[in-house]
Structure 1
């Protein structure tokens, strides 16, 4: 490669040796045409071998990134740093070290704890905190529900829909396929009509508001009734007969006509005993003695049995799924990081769910119980476990454990589910890492949708590394489009120009404007008219290719300032 071209390539530093690090490294070195230095603890690992085989990627081995390691990775010339280890504490430490060495350098940090991550981002300039499982979860849910995917754009509800899906008001054609089976990105209105494959749209109906939670429809009485053995019922029946017999004998012994009064005395005798009364007839005294003995001998036994039944019922309710019939729910198997995020997304959408995991102490199981979601503790590959989750009447099953083979086994086990003849086909989504393996599994199990959480999250991480204005991404084949929000600067080239001048056929499409000094919810102008005048304090929400976004950044920047990312090179 000529040195002039090489000098324009950005340099990125990636810390991490897992699946997400590999996918982000691949994207940065190919789609974003960057030179990448990867810091990882083990050069012999599977993902390290894959990364070292990539062009323009250099490997630096270190147990933990320290000052010497970062300097060896050329942190001084880096355009950005991505910290992608599955270690929140370690990522914070490395982020602080990077900030000490290069204040203001772009830092992207992988984090699971949202609140802690947001706090870190507020205290570090030019830092973005993302969660791989949080990014992947909505996409997995969309797959399970067979619906258009919602994009993560603050204050704006946008979906990406494939051809044939009902999405809503179409805003832009993102990809189409021509007669040569090549992907055409953002086709110009003047080009020949091509059937779109992926479109951007504004949904007709908004999803359920955030914060919606689901309370289990299981009833404790269902579990109490199922945990009471026949001896409890024998004791209750015997106690009832003794009470009725005692009341009848008291009426006969005392000559009292009020049978209800006699029953009242019998119940009191049974519960609290009776004071001696030598003035009563002999038969009445015998009845009182018998009732007192029964209350001493039987009542504690019956009380202990009932308490035991209630305790066992509560345990059964905690681990044995819903107590009453459920239909149209989603079964989530695997309550780790990804499963917890999937369950959170379902709750926010107001969709009923059942959680399954082999570990009663799993993070997601505790979360499910807190939010009233039915829980089944067991192996999702077992038919009785799926039956306890009422999978036969569910709308979808997501197998998202951290074990690929377990996820495959869970999906295959659903073949044995006996669904109603008129029921819709069961949607089956499973989590896998390897793309080729996933493709083969999809052929083996028709109707399944194998996906990798890191595969779904990597485009968003890579886009965030290249700049703070990228909100989300849309991947199609080997291409990625960016959904970005670009601020307008004073005296920029586009200031006071009409909105139509933002659009560049095949590169940039303006989809909304964010205007200042408006109330929340009313500050976004969706699909502005072509003649809408642009002001320097507006923010342009666009869908763009990487090179198109770079050129838009230059057109919206102050003319005397350097446009961010000018050194990213041409589009691939």
Structure 2
């Protein structure tokens, strides 16, 4: 695998491929340490540290040699000759010569994750010509342009295969962006409380650790048992230390192994509903096109109108009793008096005259109330197509801070999952306001660091707080303030630097041990998606199990003798793969016969997925 980039995403992606998937990686980076300090992957800390040492050594060596514009090998030789199968190249520009030296002609996949769209597109065109069989993964911010580039490069691969250039069906092109890859993980963390989540069409699956049980680890809980662990984990979210037991973990065990595994913890797969609770699973209120009557008028105005109606009824009843006329006629005369229609009660009784004066006074008081009602209703209808305020009594929702590039994608994902959301944004021109307006999501405009803004978003009744603004200090300050309001609030904050995110997580977890806290950097969230795409479009995600990894992939049943014509139970191979669900269905019975045209979601080891493919 070849990874080319100029920021922390390239370093993390290389470490992810090497440490989690066990792939051979060549990393192409600019010289002279122009990039940000590469982050450290928690599950591949040793591999990433070694990679960082080689990058620093290569940079020092290039400076000692006087730099230069040509490619420089980090070890003084071809990357493929490194003893550990991992190389580093330094180059100012990603030219054809640099790609050839990186081994693109022999590589299985190439990731182009430069911050510049033009650089990635130019390199992708060169790489597709050098190797039509190459699996390409591009980082592009322009989504529409990315779709066209993806179709173009796939068409080139198909034509090359038709002309006998051995362009395989797996020579796919995948275009991703930081926002599109980080947003689902942030949304899943806020909803499910863990990063060990796999998302498919209509399904949100979560892997959690179960403590050892007397009759078998994890028996009778969850959809299935993914693995028997070597030691029980202390952190079910996957942020704790790795298992330290001598016994190796057993991936995808069968039912007999689960029953016999006394005293061993297990990793169990669960299905998550919307936001993890019954009240949050309820649909958001007031999301129709026409706003409800209660939102047209304020509470004070509604009480004023009710008081006026009561006065009119009381005056009409009193007039009917004093003059002994029919109640309907009394009500009619009262309205005439209120609206100052000329019908003076000259020659009438004293009670009738007094009631006429009182009716005129009430009519004068009613005029400003009616005017206020008209203005307030017009203002409500004017803002109904713009932004909504949080409805009264809302609870179990997610408070989303920031509607920038990441926040907009997170908002869209949360609404796709049916999770009620209240947004907080300080910039009235933010790009995500149009999306919030279209989705009829309540928005609070204001600086989240100011007192009262989070209270307006009903933070005291919220299910979780998701801080994804572009300023790390703003996210941290908002989380700290929210914890003073709700010490047990679930919080997820986006931080740019990975080491800073780790330090913030550990501090918040120590200060609030009973509250769920997650801090994530964008590169930390984006790298797994890029790595999965480099393994092929089938791969949907990966879940680390101690020092091993389980892959989740979507596989077409047609053409697989291990799947086609078998039931879901018969298609299970212990230690290799397990069918979890059919795409597009929320339930998959074990006696369902897999047929041509079905597409299934499987959990598999690396070797098992290679056999299926």
- Same fold by TM-score, threshold 0.5 exceeded? yes
Q: CA deviation at 1:435?
A: 4.0
175, 185, 200: which one pairs with 1:129?
175
Contact 1:513 1:539 in 2 (8 A): no
Q: Which residue of 1 aligns with 2:135?
A: 106
Contact 1:492 1:556 in 2 (8 A): no
TM-score by length of 2: 0.63
Q: CA deviation at 1:477?
A: 5.5
Are residue 452 (structure 1) and residue 498 (structure 2) matched? no
Q: Which runs of 5+ in 2 are unaligned?
A: 40-51, 59-85, 155-171, 212-217, 232-242, 276-280, 349-356
Q: CA deviation at 1:73?
A: 5.5
Contact 1:108 1:130 in 2 (8 A): yes
Contact 1:24 1:458 in 2 (8 A): yes
496, 502, 505: which one pairs with 1:439?
502
Alpha carbons of 1:521 and 1:504: their partners in 2 closer, same or farther (altered >3 Å)? closer
Alpha carbons of 1:226 and 1:69: their partners in 2 closer, same or farther (altered >3 Å)? farther
Alpha carbons of 1:182 and 1:224: their partners in 2 closer, same or farther (altered >3 Å)? farther
85, 94, 108: which one pairs with 1:79?
108
Give the Cα–Cα distance (whole angstroms) in 1 for the partners of residues 264 and 417 of structure 2: 28
Q: Which residue of 2 aligns with 1:569?
A: none
Alignment of 1:390-469 (within 5 A): 390-417=458-485, 425-446=488-509, 447=513, 448-469=517-538
Give the Cα–Cα distance (whole angstroms) in 1 for the partners of residues 142 and 603 of structure 2: 29
SS at 2:298 equivalent: helix
Give the Cα–Cα distance (whole angstroms) in 1 for the partners of residues 584 and 307 of structure 2: 65
Contact 2:230 2:244 in 1 (8 A): no
264, 282, 298: which one pairs with 1:225?
298
Q: CA deviation at 1:412?
A: 0.5
Task: Give deviations 1:159-187, integer Å, cap 9, x for gaps.
Answer: 32222599622243164436647873528
SS at 1:161 equivalent: strand
Contact 2:230 2:246 in 1 (8 A): no
Q: Which residue of 2 aligns with 1:214?
A: 284
Are residue 366 (structure 1) and residue 448 (structure 2) matched? no
Task: Give deviations 1:482-510, integer Å, cap 9, x for gaps.
Answer: 223567897999999999999887xx522
337, 359, 378: which one pairs with 2:446?
378
Alpha carbons of 1:322 and 1:219: their partners in 2 closer, same or farther (altered >3 Å)? farther
Give the Cα–Cα distance (whole angstroms) in 2 for the partners of residues 72 and 95 of structure 1: 15
Give the Cα–Cα distance (whole angstroms) in 1 for the partners of residues 564 and 423 of structure 2: 52
Choose 405-414 or 168-177, whichever is displaced more: 168-177
Choose 48-57 or 389-398, whichever is displaced more: 48-57
Alpha carbons of 1:111 and 1:315: their partners in 2 closer, same or farther (altered >3 Å)? farther
Choose 438-447 or 354-363, whichever is displaced more: 438-447
Give the Cα–Cα distance (whole angstroms) in 2 for the partners of residues 202 and 240 of structure 1: 57
Task: Give deviations 1:288-336, integer Å, cap 9, x for gaps.
Answer: xx9xxx9xx9999877655544465568886684131112222111222
TM-score by length of 1: 0.67
SS at 1:46 equivalent: coil
Are residue 161 (structure 1) and residue 208 (structure 2) matched? yes
Q: Which residue of 1 aligns with 2:578?
A: 511
SS at 2:199 equivalent: coil
Alignment of 1:192-271 (within 5 A): 193=261, 199-201=267-269, 203=271, 214-216=284-286, 221=294, 224-225=297-298
Contact 1:19 1:454 in 2 (8 A): yes
Are residue 52 (structure 1) and residue 121 (structure 2) matched? no
Give the Cα–Cα distance (whole angstroms) in 2 for the partners of residues 222 and 497 of structure 1: 56
Alpha carbons of 1:460 and 1:196: their partners in 2 closer, same or farther (altered >3 Å)? farther
14, 18, 26: which one pairs with 1:25?
14
Are residue 387 (structure 1) and residue 387 (structure 2) matched? no
Contact 2:274 2:419 in 1 (8 A): no
Task: Give deviations 1:406-440, integer Å, cap 9, x for gaps.
Answer: 21111100122158xxxxx3211212244443332
SS at 2:501 equivalent: helix
Size of the aligned set, in residue pairs, is 513
Q: Which residue of 1 aligns with 2:550?
A: 481
Alpha carbons of 1:264 and 1:416: their partners in 2 closer, same or farther (altered >3 Å)? same
Q: Which residue of 1 aligns with 2:73?
A: none
Q: Which residue of 2 aligns with 1:3?
A: none
Q: Which runs of 5+ in 1 are unaligned?
A: 1-9, 284-289, 420-424, 558-572
3, 12, 27: which one pairs with 1:36?
27
Task: Give deviations 1:107-159, integer Å, cap 9, x for gaps.
Answer: 11335677775565444321123454444444434433455754235687643
SS at 2:91 equivalent: strand
SS at 1:25 equivalent: helix
